[in-house]
């Protein structure tokens, strides 16, 4: 497929917003613009972005070319390069290669977060690849072989090879055990543990009411997770909350 | 000075606690044991660890040998190596070299946070050096030449050379301007911006009352700082709160 043809490929976009700070994982606190794609092959019980997942919201999604997306990113960021966060839904099911190449040429870097259910060669062109397999509380099942293929694709593809991390949401002890197992299976990947938000926004509501969270409950779960992790002597793990949730609740666009 | 003689040197300790997570800066979320030294050459208006600064608390400080300190760190961490956080007070005024060498030999790594008012050759043996010059709201004046000497000492000393970062507490616009100037003076150092806690614990009180913070005020200042930074297009900065303050207030020992 020629470069030109790739540029014709359309990416299904739920929202593009920022700059704000990345609220999770390895780039926490770093200014970023979010490019959120629409559509997902998973349906996690506690999904906090159903508006980018459930096809009942597809009327709100837009088909955009890589050029159009980069133009919007450049507009929002005032043309000053930063790391773009590709999120979803599952952004791995969209044709992202041209966007990454175009962005790189303009000085932008890319991180992408996916559950690791689909491996793509272009993962290797990312700066950071966050693999976020879903624990038992999600109701989903992990295909560990495909997750391994994601790591291999990122390492052996045509790009410079990204930093690859595992990020696992933990709601309870079963999730914690799952995270430990994942850490053992992928011993060479840094593990980030993140307490879950048990008060995700309802898919059908917007505004102030939908933005409300159980702050005390979220902080309580974070304290438990810190305690659980250090009590185990799991000193290579990193434990971080969803910073944006603490700052802005479930509000969208920040 | 021989290695043996160095081991005789005593370090003035305010507290050793953990493991808990590092709540600030480059290692945010990473399990760590804190070794907090007693005594400081600064007296910041909003100091949140006066019990380790003001000599009226010196009766609570203990003189310990590097071996004793490492023993306590190993005890707390169950002998499982981690990154030890050397903090204060100003830990740079204590003889830390032997502790770092002994710890390294046992698999432990060290990060140290200092205002950068005193440069030491042994900075080069650290894993992470956080230079935290104090902005106008602190009431202190920065000696930029000494701060430069700290960077040079860390880079040219006998060790492997640490990651060096600038971390600047920001309470207001004047502090923000100071941070920008510091960023321009040290263009090759990553800058971390941290909203200040305007409700630090009173030095003379302990327990629940002293642990209380103005959570809404702290979150408000964090949101302002994120907005201020991205509005400027300062995309190389990282903006992070004091995570431990959000989780545990001003409580000590976590």
Neighbours of A204 (CB within 10 A): 11
Q: Nearest Cβ partner of A233 from B78, B243, B248?
A: B78
Q: Residue A156 to residues A100, A124, A153, B44, B233: CA-CA distances in angstroms? A: 17, 7, 5, 51, 34
**Cα–Cα dist A218/A197, whole Å:** 6
Residues of A within an 8 Å Cβ radius of B? 18-21, 28-31, 77-78, 80-82, 192, 219, 222-223, 226, 229-230, 233-235, 237-241, 243, 246-248
State which residue of chain B sits closest to A219, comparing Cα positions.
Answer: B247
Strand order in the sheet with B11-21: B62-64, B11-21, B31-37, B83-87, B109-114, B128-131, B163-170, B191-195, B238-239
Q: Say whether B26 sits in a helix, a strand or coil.
A: helix
Which residues does chain B have within 8 Å of residue A234's beta carbon, measured at their own beta carbons?
Answer: 31
Task: Indicate yes or no: CB of B219 within 8 angstroms of CB of A78.
Answer: no
Q: Which of the two residues, B250 and B243, has the higher pLDDT score?
A: B243
Q: Nearest Cβ partner of A219 from B21, B235, B247?
A: B247
Q: Provide the pairing of β-strand B31-37 with B11-21.
A: antiparallel
Determine the number of helices (DSSP H) and then strands (DSSP E) in chain B: 8, 9
Q: Which of the two residues, A207 and B187, has the higher pLDDT score?
A: B187
B134 is in an annotated binding site: yes
Task: Indicate yes or no: CB of A230 within 8 angstroms of CB of B29.
Answer: no
pLDDT-above-70 percentage for chain B = 94
**What pLDDT does residue B205 have?**
57
Which residues does chain B have within 8 Å of residue A110's beta carbon, measured at their own beta carbons?
Answer: none
Look at residues A45, A49, A87, A24 and name the one whose alpha carbon lies nearest to residue A175. Answer: A45
State which residue of chain A sits closest to B247, comparing Cα positions.
Answer: A219
**Cα–Cα dist B51/B58, whole Å:** 8
Look at residues A69, A64, A60, A73 and name the one whose alpha carbon lies nearest to residue A14. Answer: A60
**What pLDDT does residue B68 have?**
98
Task: Indicate yes or no: CB of B80 within 8 angstroms of CB of A235.
Answer: yes
CA distance A246 to chain B (A): 8
B160-182 pLDDT tens trace = 899 999 999 999 999 999 999 99
**Cα–Cα dist B216/B205, whole Å:** 22
Whether a cis peptide bond, with omega within 30° of 0, leads into A85 is: no
Which residues does chain A have within 8 Å of residue B243's beta carbon, measured at their own beta carbons?
Answer: 240-241
Residue B84 contacts residue B124 (beta carbons within 8 Å): no
**Cα–Cα dist B251/B213, whole Å:** 10
**Cα–Cα dist B16/B34, whole Å:** 6
CA distance A33 to chain B (A): 10
Q: Nearest Cβ partner of A78 from B29, B31, B233?
A: B233
Q: Say whether A105 sits in a helix, a strand or coil.
A: helix
Q: Helix crossing, A66-76 with A97-105: angle to 10°?
A: 40
Look at residues A180, A184, A193, A178 and name the one whose alpha carbon lies nearest to residue A225. Answer: A193
Look at residues B33, B183, B44, B210 and name the one whose alpha carbon lies nearest to residue B117. Answer: B44
Phi and psi angles of residue B22, each rounded to the nearest 5 degrees, phi first: -65, 130
Neighbours of B106 (CB within 10 A): 11
**Cα–Cα dist A155/A164, whole Å:** 9
**Cα–Cα dist B84/B78, whole Å:** 13
* Residue B55 confidence (pLDDT) above 70: yes
A180-228 pLDDT tens trace = 999 999 999 999 999 999 888 876 655 666 678 888 999 999 999 999 9
State the ipTM, two decimals.
Answer: 0.94
Task: Indicate yes or no: CB of B235 within 8 angstroms of CB of A29.
Answer: no
**What pLDDT does residue A211 have?**
74
Look at residues B226, B148, B218 and name the one whose alpha carbon lies nearest to residue B182. Answer: B148
In CATH, the number for domain B3-248 is: 3.20.20.70
Mean pLDDT of B169-197: 97
Task: Indicate yes or no: CB of B31 within 8 angstroms of CB of A229.
Answer: yes
Q: Residue B46 to residues A3, A68, B172, B196: CA-CA distances in angstroms? A: 57, 48, 13, 8
Task: Indicate yes or no: CB of B247 within 8 angstroms of CB of A222.
Answer: yes
**What pLDDT does residue A1 have?**
43
Structure confidence at residue B42 as a pLDDT band (50, 70, 90): very high
**Cα–Cα dist A14/A20, whole Å:** 17
CA distance A111 to chain B (A): 15
Q: Mean pLDDT lowest for which of A213-222, B64-73, B105-114?
A: A213-222
In sequence order, which residues have a C-beta less than 8 Å from that of residue B57 and are 6 or more positions away?
B14, B38, B50, B51, B203
CA distance A15 to chain B (A): 19
Token pair, residue B54, equals 């003001």
Which residues does chain B have within 8 Å of residue A238's beta carbon, measured at their own beta carbons?
Answer: 21, 29-30
Neighbours of A211 (CB within 10 A): 16
pLDDT per position in chain A (254 positions), as tens?
Answer: 444 444 469 999 999 999 999 999 999 999 999 999 999 999 999 998 999 999 889 999 999 999 999 999 999 999 999 999 999 999 999 999 999 999 999 999 999 999 999 999 999 999 999 999 999 999 999 999 999 999 999 999 888 899 999 999 999 999 999 999 999 999 999 999 999 998 888 766 556 666 788 889 999 999 999 999 999 999 999 999 999 999 999 898 88
**What pLDDT does residue B7 have?**
47
Structural domain boundaries of chain A? 3-248
Rounded to the nearest 5 degrees, what angle is found at the Cα of B94, between the Cα atoms of B40 and B77?
105
| Burial per residue of B19-58, b for 16 or more beta-carbon CB atoms within 10 angstroms, e otherwise | bbbbbbbbbbbbbbbbbbbbbbebebeebbbbbbbbeebe
Token pair, residue B97, equals 């070299």
Q: Mean pLDDT lowest for which of B7-21, B209-223, B234-248?
A: B209-223
CA distance A149 to chain B (A): 28
B87 is in an annotated binding site: yes
Task: Indicate yes or no: CB of A247 within 8 angstroms of CB of B28.
Answer: no
E strands, chain B, are 11-21, 31-37, 62-64, 83-87, 109-114, 128-131, 163-170, 191-195, 238-239
Structure confidence at residue B157 as a pLDDT band (50, 70, 90): confident
């Amino acid at each position: 497929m020629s470069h030109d043809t790739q540029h014709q490929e359309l990416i299904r976009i739920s929202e593009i917003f920022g700059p704000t700070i990345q609220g999770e994982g390895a780039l926490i606190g770093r200014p970023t613009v979010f490019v959120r794609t629409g559509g997902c092959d998973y349906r996690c019980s506690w999904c906090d972005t159903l508006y980018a997942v459930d096809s009942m919201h597809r009327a709100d999604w837009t088909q955009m070319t890589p050029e159009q997306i980069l133009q919007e990113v450049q507009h929002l960021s005032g043309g000053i390069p930063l790391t773009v966060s590709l999120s979803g839904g599952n952004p791995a099911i969209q044709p992202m290669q041209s966007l990454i190449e175009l962005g790189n040429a303009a000085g932008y870097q890319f991180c992408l977060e996916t559950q690791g259910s689909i491996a793509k060669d272009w993962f290797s062109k990312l700066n950071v690849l966050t693999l976020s397999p879903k624990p038992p509380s999600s109701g989903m099942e992990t295909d560990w072989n495909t997750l391994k293929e994601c790591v291999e694709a990122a390492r052996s593809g045509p790009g410079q090879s990204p930093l690859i991390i595992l990020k696992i949401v933990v709601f309870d002890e079963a999730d914690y055990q799952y995270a430990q197992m994942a850490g053992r299976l992928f011993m060479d990947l840094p593990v980030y543990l993140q307490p879950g938000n048990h008060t995700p926004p309802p898919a059908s509501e917007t505004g102030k009411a939908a933005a409300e969270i159980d702050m005390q409950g979220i902080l309580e779960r974070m304290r438990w997770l810190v305690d659980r992790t250090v009590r185990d002597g799991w000193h290579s793990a990193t434990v971080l909350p969803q910073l944006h949730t603490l700052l802005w609740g479930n509000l969208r666009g920040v």
